[in-house]
Structures are given as C-alpha cells and as structure tokens.
Homo-oligomer: A and B are copies of this chain.
Amino acid sequence: MAKILVTNDDGVHSPGLEVLRKHLKKLGDVIVVVPEREMSTASHSLTLRSPLRVSRIKKGIFITSGTPSDCINIGTLGILKEKPVLVVSGINRGPNLGDDITYSGTVAASIESTLRGIPSFAISVASFKNCRFNLAAKFAFILARYILKNGLPSHTFLNVNVPNVSIRSIQGVEITHQGKRIYKENLVKRTDPRGRTYYWLGGDEPTGEIEEGTDFAAVARKKISITPVQLDLTDYKMIDKLRNWHIKFP
C-alpha cells in the first residue's frame, strides 16, 4: 500500500493530527513523524549540532526531538523503506497566510518534502481558537486524492488555509496567490524582578491586505485558499535592473 507521511509543527499532542491521520488512512498507509513538542515558528530550521532522538509511540506514529523539517528527513531516510507518495503537513492551528509562511514550520515541512522530490501540501485552520479540524481533514482527504491523481510540478507544493466556519458556511475553494502581511510594531519591553530588561515579540494574529486574489481575501470570504508555492525565490524582473548598476569589483 502506498505510504503517506504526515508531520506537523504543533507536536504529537495537537488535536489536528489524529483527525488528519484518520481521514488520510482511506488513501494509503499513513506514517506519522512529528516533533515531541510544539515547534511553531520553527521555520525551515534543521538540527545539525545535536543528535536527533526518535521514539515509536504507537504503530505508525513516531515522535522526534527535531523540527518539522527534521521529521521529513527522519521519516524519508530513517523510518520508511520506500519513498512516500505524498507528505501532508498539518493540520496547523492558526493561519499560514501571506508573508508569514516564511516563519512556518508547517510550510517548511512541505518545502523539505519538495526538495526531496515528494509531492506535498501544508494545511492550516485559520483560527487559533475552537479549530474545526474535522472540516479541514475532510478537505485534506479530497485534495490528497486530486494530487495523487494529477501530480504536482517538481518544485511546487500547495499551501492550504481553511476558514474556521461550519461546513454549511464554506463558500467553496479558491486558487490564490500569496498576500502581503500588514506588519505591526510588536515588541514588548519588560523588567524582571532583578531589574533587568527583557523583551517579548508580540503574538498578534496576522492580518493582511484583503486584495482580490490573495490567500487573505479568500479566507476572509469563507473560502478555502489553495496557494501553489514554488522554491525559486529569484526576483527575475530585478536581474536586468541590477545588471544596469554595472557593479565593478575589484
């Protein structure tokens, strides 16, 4: 039976994990490799300076001391004997929209899978509270079936955000492009009991420009947003402009 690898960045205790596993089991042999604790905003970090531990806690469920990207490497190189046909990362608690996807461990696991030549999607519920993971898991099953049938380009994966509404309120699916984050100034300065200063980075829910066609706009309209994401970050339009700078060195 085809192997499907599942990971996340919220860790093994995330309620989004078990419901995702259940729905994907209809499509293949689901192997879960996830961080043992929450790794949100781990981004695409890799653990290179300390060894990685792996424990099998149930049949088909492994926890690791590493990041979501580490989980992909452990899953594909250490646990699975064959290449999985699909990697699903999620279901994330909270949106992964616009510029913020560069911080996301959930999205990073899909980047790592794509680098390893495995089709992948990342899926998030666009709320931090009372997440309707069941609805997102149902959609994950549908989307996984489409990907297994149609394939994905070799350097592209999908980033999915599901609005946190009831199945009756969902206004369908929209293919979107990545929106721009509206950045808030959010550094909180405090003083500890010994009089020393420390800082907290703010954790506000992200907001973005509700521009037509973006992931932000789709979710705001109660649509499931699917953004195709590619790994080449080159700004091709800038190449000619930079050549015209005629930088001489030495």
User: Chain A residues in contact with chain B, CB under 8 A?
Assistant: 38, 40-49, 51-54, 69-70, 73-74, 77-78, 99, 101-103, 108, 111, 115-117, 138-139, 142-143, 146, 150, 153, 155-156, 158, 167, 170, 172-173, 175, 177-178, 180-181, 183, 185-187, 189-190, 196-201, 203, 224, 226-236, 238-239, 242-243, 245, 247-250
Q: Is the CB of B201 within 8 A of A47?
A: yes
Q: Is the CB of B51 within 8 A of A199?
A: yes
Pick the contact of A247: B115, B138, B173 (CB < 8 A). B173
Q: Is the CB of A45 within 8 A of B48?
A: no
Minimum distance in angstroms from A218 CB to a CB of chain B: 12
Pick the contact of A175: B42, B44, B172, B243 (CB < 8 A). B243
Q: Is the CB of B233 within 8 A of A199?
A: no
Q: Is the CB of A43 within 8 A of B245?
A: no
Minimum distance in angstroms from A115 CB to a CB of chain B: 6
Pick the contact of A228: B146, B186, B234 (CB < 8 A). B234
Pick the contact of A44: B43, B155, B186 (CB < 8 A). B43
Residues on the B chain within 8 Å of A177, using CB:
232, 234, 236, 239
Give Cα distance in the complex from A66 to B198, angstroms: 11
Pick the contact of A233: B53, B178, B196 (CB < 8 A). B178
Give Cα distance in the complex from A224 to B42, angstroms: 31
Residue of B nearest to A101 (CB): B233
Closest 9 CB pairs of A and B: A228-B238, A230-B235, A77-B187, A43-B43, A43-B44, A177-B234, A228-B235, A51-B198, A43-B45
**A247-B226, A250-B138 given; A190·B51 CB < 8 A:** yes
Q: Is the CB of A250 within 8 A of B170?
A: yes
Give Cα distance in the complex from A190 to B230, angstroms: 35
Residues on the B chain within 8 Å of A231, using CB:
99, 102, 233
Q: Is the CB of A150 within 8 A of B43?
A: no
Minimum distance in angstroms from A229 CB to a CB of chain B: 5
**A54-B199, A199-B74, A242-B226 given; A247·B146 CB < 8 A:** yes
Pick the contact of A249: B46, B111, B117, B170 (CB < 8 A). B170
